[in-house]
Structure 1
Amino acid sequence: MAKSGAQPLKQPLQQRSRLTVQAILQAAIHIFDEFGYAAGTTARIASRAGVSIGSLYQYYPNKDAILTALAEQHLAEGLALSVQLLETLRASEQSLESTLHDIVGHMIRLHEHNPGLHRLLYEEGLLPAALRQTAKQAEQFLIAEVGRCLALRSDVRQADRQMQAYFVVHAIEHFTHRLVIDQAPAEFLQRGKGELVDMLLCYLQARTTSKST
């Protein structure tokens, strides 16, 4: 878990500085994945990035600060993609099945981008505490927006929209996460995508719902 002092020391303003920072962050992903977080030292990260340890410390005081920067970047990328996909869900001219295929496919590719980082933050519970609330707020925002989008579609059964959205958001996040983190073979990954889409279609278009007694 990231500790105090886990913030960058300065912001990269010039192109060269931005490239250095990105090199450090990318190197950290590989080092943490290869050696684990405990053994993923700043010296190893600097060496992999091709920069001096002094250059690394200009931007990050410790590896906790690097992890925080990676987590912030990951959350921002995920939220940006999710907002983009909300527009797809609102597009009534596209069938629900095609829309779900697009959404699930994009989420799989998001997780595939840096599976090691995703595993580190969520499987190993290293998402910095300061960012957990940010992640929770983003999740609540997405559930609310998905609920609004579902209400606009005539090909989705009438139901409690927020409940529908809750299950759709969590089902997509959980199963795309598992398919990538479990390193499923390509053929299984493709079949898994189809199964998830079918499951969501059945849920969103079912004409009857079971009620607890």
Structure 2
Amino acid sequence: MPGRPTIAPTDRFRQRKQPKQERAAETRQRILDAAARVFSEHGYAAGTTNRIAERAGVSIGSLYQYFPNKDAVLRALMDAHVDAGVRLLTERLSDGLPERLEDTLRLFVRAAIDNHRDDPRLHRVLFEEAPRAPAFLARLRGMEQFTVEAVGRVLERHPEVRASSRLNAQVVVATVDSLVHRLVTSEAAAAEGPDFQQVEDEIVTLLSGYLSPQVQ
């Protein structure tokens, strides 16, 4: 994700044990849903546990049964965002990759946009304002490396791609990640109301020209 993350001590992000009973799991999810709204409306600094508990309709003591502090809540929201992105891309790839390079790029770009479009303000809080746990940063780096390797294998299937290499794959991953974040979740984009289809088209055009300039 773009932006320079603030790294905080790991203990601040440690959650309580995952609830096993259905009612407890529902309460935990209600707290997370409330936290998403509170952080979206008030930002990281003013998104207090008291506000989260009030929005969730639970006591502050009940909230602390699941999360020791707001950073642990943030970590859970960050993990949920990443998990949703993985599920979304997996679903899009379940029928196999398209034959054309442009269509394959469009699949990846659209999945990234769809994972950011619902609540841009929340994503800015999670990935620009809030501190991140070292373990979460390590998870992001691992996922980036995995994605780069996957994209590299995809590019090797297309002879029109110029000198397919790991660097090409790194550029594709970094471009999609950076541009989607800036064009979909930035304050300027939110104020203007981003045209998601146009954002998708422009990024696909950019990457297509970069990867196979001879066909442009």
Q: TM-score, normalised by structure 2?
A: 0.84
Q: 1:9 aligns with which of 16, 21, 35?
A: 16
Residue of structure 2 equivalent to 1:179 = 183
Residue of structure 1 equivalent to 2:201 = 194
Aligned amino acid, residue 203 of structure 1: Y
Give the number of aligned pairs: 205
Aligned amino acid, residue 114 of structure 2: R
Q: Distance in 2 between matches of 1:108 and 1:138?
A: 17
- Aligned-pair identity in percent equals 42
1:109 positional shift: 1.0
Aligned amino acid, residue 161 of structure 2: R
Q: 1:138 aligns with which of 140, 143, 151?
A: 143
Q: TM-score, normalised by structure 1?
A: 0.85
Q: Distance in 1 between matches of 2:51 and 2:162?
A: 55
**SS of the counterpart of 1:36?**
helix
Are 1:108 and 2:108 matched, yes or no?
Answer: no
* 8 A Cα contact 1:120 1:126, kept in partner: no
Q: Which runs of 4+ in 1 moved over 6 A?
A: none
* 8 A Cα contact 1:86 1:149, kept in partner: no
Q: Distance in 1 between matches of 2:77 and 2:133?
A: 10
User: CA deviation digits over 1:10-57, x for unaligned, max 9?
Assistant: 212122222111111111111122222222111110110111222111
Equivalent residues in 2 for 1:125-164, closer than 5 Å: 126-154=131-159, 156-164=160-168
Q: Distance in 2 between matches of 1:171 and 1:23?
A: 35
1:86 positional shift: 5.8
Q: Distance in 1 between matches of 2:194 and 2:124?
A: 22
Query: Structure 1: 5+ residue runs without aligned partners?
Result: 209-213
Residue of structure 2 equivalent to 1:211 = none
1:128 positional shift: 2.4
Which stretch has the larger CA shift, 26-35 or 70-79? 70-79
1:5 positional shift: 4.1
Which stretch has the larger CA shift, 113-122 or 23-32? 113-122
User: CA deviation digits over 1:106-151, x for unaligned, max 9?
Assistant: 2111011332332113222523232111101110110011101111
1:61 positional shift: 1.0
1:71 positional shift: 1.5
Aligned amino acid, residue 198 of structure 1: T
**Relative contact order, CA 8 A, sep 6+: which one is greater?**
2
1:83 positional shift: 4.6
RMSD across aligned positions (CA): 2.3
Which stretch has the larger CA shift, 115-124 or 48-57? 115-124
Q: Distance in 2 between matches of 1:160 and 1:125?
A: 37
Aligned amino acid, residue 21 of structure 1: R
Query: Structure 2: 5+ residue runs without aligned partners?
Result: 1-6
Residue of structure 2 equivalent to 1:80 = 87
